[in-house]
Chain A
């Protein structure tokens, strides 16, 4: 009977097709509204009646003042009273961006080499007029130019503005859960555009949850749904398993998702389906797209505490449905030979956080924790997997021993009860051996097989047997004192050095001052020689005395008064000294007499007695002393 029906349908289809071939192709455009406001969408449909074969989606001309989006095609085949008809509709959404009266120019449709076109359509757009300087001026009652208009010039929809034609919903499968119970967070895209999912612009905020992401499937299982009278393509773009870590009320901020919407229609393939679209790479790379940021509403998840009644001692926070299996690698061993117990927990739940079943107190064995490994499975809407624990038992006693059952408890949220699983006991026949306890080399290398050193008790530490002063404090004290002295010395040196440098700088700028300053030093050096000459009994040295004394005093006074050798005269010096000392100074007369004596002696080449030399020496000393004082 079913075969007959299919055959009948096939005949009817062929008959209809033949009738359709014979029918004339009609192309018509229609809009659902003729009066709209700025930013209010309107549907534009191009209906092709009687077309055969593949009809490519028509390209809309660039309607200035409008955003246009291709939303897909609809095919219809009817067979009524022996007459068949084939209809294809291409649907577009137009969004006017400026006010005015517009005429939609006819759209060209090419079918089997023949050109058809829609009729012009009048639209009146009301709403706030944009400033002429900043927006293209609409041309009322005039066909808009078909010249391509760059998209950038048309004011595109704001990226985050709510748009009924494309939006994202985030949902959780449960709103009240227990700690560590899985909550499936699903992101679903609803669109009426040719849309591409571009990923997360801002990741969701899910603090307080352990997260496992479901891998993105190649085929997202799109479906068409009708919401508020509008048809949408719906697709789940991301699924995340959340496991709450503690009792609380959590608000999940789902983040921001980026999608891009195609603005131009594309050519359809021969088998394009209803609402053909370009999710995940379907669209041409070169097609014009605009990006939209979608932000789903926040979600609330309440995590309630575990029931206290019936909570087993071995319960350690595991939630889900699990199975436990156990095995040992040997049933007979020698004393001090390791046996590995393998525990496998398998099921649905947060596998990664499962803890090893607690080990009972056991005598006659040394127990070491072995490796543990996880395998995660994602089946349907649930996270599950397998966790394997290895425990090494080394019997230290010989005889018939037994590895006792291990207990694992979990909370089953479906049944709302605690479940306890037990492994079987493993009898172990241990034969005596003199071999010392030694971990197998491959195990000994692993740190996990080392037991942790544990603090057995706590107390204060023991007294110090030696005085601290003997060590660190003494060194610090010595260093402190040594460094303090060194710093003081350093400071002194630097201070003196800086003072000296400053003096040098001053004297280098003032030669008179420099001569004045060095006069005494130079005179002092000469005085040493002069003293020797004054005491000398040798005639030639005694003769030199007066000359040297005159040189000394002349040089000293020249330096003091900043005189050159040419300027120096006895008269000038007398005047200068009388200015400094005053007319009544007895030394003035003595200086005059000294120079007279020096002149006579120079020409007479006389030799002064020792007493006279001593008196002149004193005179020079007195002059220098008096000059330095004044």
Chain B
């Protein structure tokens, strides 16, 4: 009962209609039971229904990834592990399963980005948007408090040094928050769902195939044109992929 109350509250905070919270938990538990019983297709279907209801939860995507993995649907499994990682970037189970599933992808692409770019992306992906926000607001609160003490209570008027440090930390965290927001908005990624997906020179089936990618590989979406995505690979190659071949993370 207590769990239901918490879940309801969480759903409320996350914008999920309160009336559906109880149902969502029930569906989640049913899906888990189906998974335990080895009915992975049923489990996947139930987890998918939760996502359709608007539930955004690391465990739902993670479990769905597991359900697809057990059905040997590597692309979908990786797609949902990636989604779970976005919601819970430091979840050890998600990271383990994601790495394990990535190891089963038939091909690999050499990442030609420089070390700085890789490190920067790793840093941004290590926290969620809301976590960076909490950090920023935390420093901000200290900064406002120090100002309030000085302005209203005339306390700590000499603490300019502390305020400067707080200002720098706040600005750093704010920059990180903004960049994280931009990253979330602009760095759209997708996982290949087809066993062999073609990357073409143009956004139509008439255009020549530039290269073929295997199920589970990850690409970055640059832009969309009707049913086609212009994608880029970590090695710098770009091309167009048919929308149905990809699952957007």
Where the two chains meet, the residues of A that have a C-beta atom closer than 8 Å to any C-beta of B are 458-470, 472-474, 476-481, 483-484, 486-487, 490-491, 493-494, 497-498, 500-501
User: Nearest Cβ distance between residue B12 and chain A, in whole angstroms?
Assistant: 10
Residues of A within 8 A of B128 (CB): 476
Among A463, A479, A497, point to the contact of B148 (Cβ < 8 A): A497
Residues of B within 8 A of A472 (CB): 88
Known: A460-B100, A493-B144, A494-B147. A470 touches B134 (CB 8 A): no
Q: Check B141–A483 contact: CB distance below 8 A.
A: yes
Residues of B within 8 A of A467 (CB): 7, 10, 25, 28, 57, 59-60
Among B7, B25, B88, B97, point to the contact of A460 (Cβ < 8 A): B97
Q: Check B10–A479 contact: CB distance below 8 A.
A: no
* B residues 136-151 in Cβ contact with A at 8 Å: 137-138, 140-141, 143-145, 147-148, 151
Known: A460-B69, A476-B128, A498-B151. A470 touches B6 (CB 8 A): yes
Kindly supply a per-residue 1/0 record for chain B positions 1-42, scoring 1 wherever the CB is within 8 Å of any chain A CB and 0 otherwise.
001001101110110000000000100100010010000000
Q: Check A474–B9 contact: CB distance below 8 A.
A: yes
Q: Check B10–A470 contact: CB distance below 8 A.
A: yes
Q: Which of B28, B93, B151 has the most CB of A within 10 A?
A: B151
* B residues 142-199 in Cβ contact with A at 8 Å: 143-145, 147-148, 151-152
Enumerate the 9 nearest inter-chain pairs by beta-carbon distance, A residue then B residue, closest first. A490-B144, A497-B151, A483-B137, A464-B59, A469-B10, A468-B58, A463-B63, A494-B147, A460-B97
Where the two chains meet, the residues of B that have a C-beta atom closer than 8 Å to any C-beta of A are 3, 6-7, 9-11, 13-14, 25, 28, 32, 35, 57-60, 62-63, 66-67, 69, 87-88, 91, 93, 96-97, 100-101, 128, 130-131, 133-134, 137-138, 140-141, 143-145, 147-148, 151-152
User: Nearest Cβ distance between residue A244 and chain B, in whole angstroms?
Assistant: 29
User: Nearest Cβ distance between residue A121 and chain B, in whole angstroms?
Assistant: 69
Among B57, B93, B141, point to the contact of A473 (Cβ < 8 A): B57
Given contacts A463-B62, A469-B11, A490-B148, 15 further A-B contacts (CB under 8 A): A460-B96, A460-B97, A463-B63, A464-B62, A467-B59, A472-B88, A473-B88, A474-B13, A477-B130, A480-B137, A486-B137, A486-B141, A487-B144, A490-B143, A498-B147
Residues of B within 8 A of A498 (CB): 147, 151
User: Nearest Cβ distance between residue B25 and chain A, in whole angstroms?
Assistant: 7
A–B Cβ pairs within 8 angstroms, 13 of them = A460-B96, A463-B66, A468-B88, A470-B7, A473-B87, A476-B130, A476-B131, A483-B141, A484-B133, A486-B137, A491-B144, A493-B152, A494-B148
- Tell me if A's interface is mostly helix, strand, loop or mixed: helix
Smallest CB gap from B58: residue in A: A468
Residues of B within 8 A of A463 (CB): 32, 35, 59, 62-63, 66-67
User: Nearest Cβ distance between residue B113 and chain A, in whole angstroms?
Assistant: 28
User: Nearest Cβ distance between residue A413 and chain B, in whole angstroms?
Assistant: 39
- Tell me if B's interface is mostly helix, strand, loop or mixed: helix
Smallest CB gap from A483: residue in B: B137
Q: Which of B9, B10, B25, B93 has the most CB of A within 10 A?
A: B10
A463 to B57, CA, bound (A): 13
Among A459, A468, A479, point to the contact of B134 (Cβ < 8 A): A479
Q: Check B66–A460 contact: CB distance below 8 A.
A: yes
A460 to B59, CA, bound (A): 14
Known: A468-B57, A473-B88, A487-B144. A494 touches B151 (CB 8 A): yes
A478 to B128, CA, bound (A): 14
Among B14, B69, B148, point to the contact of A469 (Cβ < 8 A): B14
A487 to B134, CA, bound (A): 11
Residues of B within 8 A of A462 (CB): 66, 93
Residues of B within 8 A of A497 (CB): 147-148, 151-152
Smallest CB gap from B59: residue in A: A464
Residues of A within 8 A of B87 (CB): 468, 473
Residues of A within 8 A of B138 (CB): 483
Smallest CB gap from A497: residue in B: B151
User: Nearest Cβ distance between residue B142 and chain A, in whole angstroms?
Assistant: 9
User: Nearest Cβ distance between residue B127 and chain A, in whole angstroms?
Assistant: 10
Q: Check A464–B13 contact: CB distance below 8 A.
A: no
Smallest CB gap from A470: residue in B: B6
Q: Check B58–A473 contact: CB distance below 8 A.
A: yes
A476 to B7, CA, bound (A): 14
A119 to B7, CA, bound (A): 113
Residues of A within 8 A of B10 (CB): 467, 469-470, 473-474, 477
Q: Check A480–B133 contact: CB distance below 8 A.
A: yes
Residues of B within 8 A of A458 (CB): 100
User: Nearest Cβ distance between residue B130 and chain A, in whole angstroms?
Assistant: 5
Smallest CB gap from B131: residue in A: A476
Residues of A within 8 A of B88 (CB): 468, 472-473
Smallest CB gap from A461: residue in B: B93
User: Nearest Cβ distance between residue A254 and chain B, in whole angstroms?
Assistant: 34
Residues of A within 8 A of B130 (CB): 476-477, 480
A500 to B154, CA, bound (A): 14
Residues of A within 8 A of B147 (CB): 490, 493-494, 497-498
Residues of B within 8 A of A460 (CB): 66, 69, 96-97, 100-101
Residues of B within 8 A of A470 (CB): 3, 6-7, 10
Q: Check B93–A464 contact: CB distance below 8 A.
A: yes
Residues of B within 8 A of A477 (CB): 10, 13-14, 130
Residues of A within 8 A of B67 (CB): 463
A500 to B32, CA, bound (A): 60
User: Nearest Cβ distance between residue B102 and chain A, in whole angstroms?
Assistant: 12
Residues of B within 8 A of A484 (CB): 133, 137
Smallest CB gap from A478: residue in B: B13
Residues of B within 8 A of A501 (CB): 151
Q: Check B93–A466 contact: CB distance below 8 A.
A: no
Q: Check B57–A469 contact: CB distance below 8 A.
A: yes
Residues of B within 8 A of A479 (CB): 134
User: Nearest Cβ distance between residue B150 and chain A, in whole angstroms?
Assistant: 8
A478 to B88, CA, bound (A): 16
Residues of A within 8 A of B13 (CB): 474, 477-478, 481
